[in-house]
Structure 1
Amino acid sequence: MGEWALVCVVAWFVALSVYDVRWRRLPNWLTLPGAALILIAAALAGRGAPAAVGAAALFALYAATHLLAPAAMGAGDVKLALGAGGLTGAFGPDVWLLAALGAPLLTAAYAVATVTRRGRTVPHGPSMCLASAAAAALVIV
């Protein structure tokens, strides 16, 4: 992964995380273009198929969760799953699995640690971003 791509992904993850913490939502104008760029970059790097599989798999898991329990996961998280799944899928199934398992664990740990007020939501986007970045970093570094 080129340095410029790394900077762009980190900036995208930071923007998503800040937005989700502040407004408790992930807008389409942040999630979808980033996912598209990740899939295009992966294809150009010769990793298009694993990225597409990773994006589809994580999207399917998150979409199923959202459909079964809409209060548990927002639609923005489902759309972010395309980019996060594509990024981690491009690095291989082990990276994808680490990020896919790490994100809900990070969100749960944050919820327990902060003991949020009743009715207050816990943003999941930052955990998705952190887990994806950390899992990818294990391969990059």
Structure 2
Amino acid sequence: MMAGAVLVWMSALTVYDLRWRRLPNWLTLPGATVILIGAAVAGRGAPAAFGAAALFALYAVTHLLAPAAMGAGDAKLALGVGGLTGAFGPDIWLLAALGAPVLTAGCALATLTRRGRTVPHGPSMCVASAAAVALVLV
């Protein structure tokens, strides 16, 4: 049941970011909270909290150094997907953390013909995290 809720959350974030090019607090922060609470209840609170903090730190620093390249919403989404993947271990966290920028770069290369068009990063964060976790669950 929790997996279904996480997929619905990630789908909503993906659609929202593709359509409006932003990730709102009312989607990112409650999702992160539920994931971290769920991980704590499952006995994986510490690895989830570490994963959330580590990915948030990476994204927040990137946002502060290059705000045009990375939005604050991406940094807030990092709390949720970092917590989710961190709960499954450092290898899953690393796979998702590296997979997201690779997916975004691939999408950017595929859309080079559309000058001035940016590629949102949130969908890649969601897809990379879901794929990494699926490796453990399937």
Question: TM-score scaled by structure 1?
Answer: 0.96
Residue 31 of structure 1 corresponds to 28
Question: Partners in 2 of 1:122 and 1:135 — Cα distance?
Answer: 21
Q: Does residue 4 of structure 2 align to residue 12 of structure 1?
A: no
Question: Partners in 2 of 1:113 and 1:79 — Cα distance?
Answer: 26
C-alpha distance after superposition, 1:26-62 (max 9, x if no partner) = 0000000000000000000000000000000000000
Report percent identity of matched pairs: 80
Q: Of the candidates 109, 127, 130, which is equivalent to residue 130 of structure 1?
A: 127
Query: Cα offset for 1:121?
Result: 1.5
Question: TM-score scaled by structure 2?
Answer: 0.98
Q: After TM superposition, list the pairs within 5 Å mapping 1:52-131 onto structure 2.
A: 52-115=49-112, 117-131=114-128
Q: Does residue 46 of structure 2 align to residue 49 of structure 1?
A: yes
Q: 1:72 to 1:45 in 2, by over 3 A?
A: same
Query: Cα offset for 1:117?
Result: 2.7
Question: Partners in 2 of 1:121 and 1:55 — Cα distance?
Answer: 26
> Which residue identity is paired with 1:80?
L
How many equivalent pairs are there? Answer: 138
Question: Partners in 1 of 2:59 and 2:113 — Cα distance?
Answer: 23
Q: Single out whichever of 5-14 and 113-122 deviates more from structure 2.
A: 113-122
| Deviating 4+ runs (over 3 angstroms) | none
> Which residue identity is paired with 2:95?
L
Q: Which runs of 5+ in 1 are unaligned?
A: none
Q: Which runs of 5+ in 2 are unaligned?
A: none
Question: Partners in 2 of 1:116 and 1:75 — Cα distance?
Answer: 27
